[in-house]
Amino acid sequence: MLNSVNPFMHEENMSDNQSDKQQAGSQASECSQVDLDKRNFLIATSAVGALGCAAVAVPFVKSMTPSERAKAAGAPVEVDISKIQPGTIMTAEWRGKPVWIINRTDEMNAELAKHDDQLSDPASDVTSQQPAYCKNANRSIKPNIAVIVGICTHLGCSPSEKMQRGGDMGENWTGGFFCPCHGSKFDLAGRVFKGSPAPINLVVPPHKYLSDNTLLIGVDTEDKA
């Protein structure tokens, strides 16, 4: 006996297939729209973020004065030394490093010649540590004005100034600098004392005088030692 095929079932299956296809197409369209919306949102937020970064960066760049940009680039630095009183020190910045400018009194200069036997390099024979025109008893162009990079030659720390006699440095201390990190000691010409971890004297940078009260750090002078 032959099985009869219900024509209505066939039509019903076709209807279901069409419905499934329409539903799948609708879902794909919705997914495409969601993806498009996400992409547009990401593009918009990225653009806003970029504008925000630019807005922050511009004021930062503008906030740097020409002298600050010059210092960052290692350009020479001009310093007014007219207000440094005898026996005091001021700090300038050159190539990102502190540079001490010391106005030594006559008494301070006189003490420099009294402790050569306590120093590792009293005559500044390590020529890399100062220009030729500062290889003298005071390690300076002008006897009373010392110009020294304030970075310890041991591990790059910055020593503390101990300008006054005695105090917590002991009764025999006549003034200079002390590195609290490892105990290196330097006199008022930046010369290292024996027994210090620092192997050599502090650096005297290239410098010259534009006038009696104007110092230019970073450029060699034509003056002789």
10-residue block means of pLDDT along the chain (225 residues)? 46 49 50 53 48 42 51 81 96 96 96 95 97 96 97 92 86 91 94 97 97 96 64
Nearest to 138 by CA among 90, 197, 204, 94: 204
Q: What does the pLDDT read at residue 52? A: 45
pTM of the model: 0.67
Q: What does the pLDDT read at residue 171? A: 86
Q: What does the pLDDT read at residue 40? A: 56
Q: What does the pLDDT read at residue 21? A: 47
Catalytic residue among 10, 115, 182, 207: 182
User: Is there a catalytic annotation at residue 182?
Assistant: yes
Tally of CB atoms within 10 A around 216: 17
Q: Residue ranges of the alpha helices (H) in the chain?
A: 7-63, 66-73, 106-112
* Residue whose token pair is 């050159």: 94
Q: Is 60 left (phi over 0), alpha (psi -120 to 50) or beta?
A: alpha
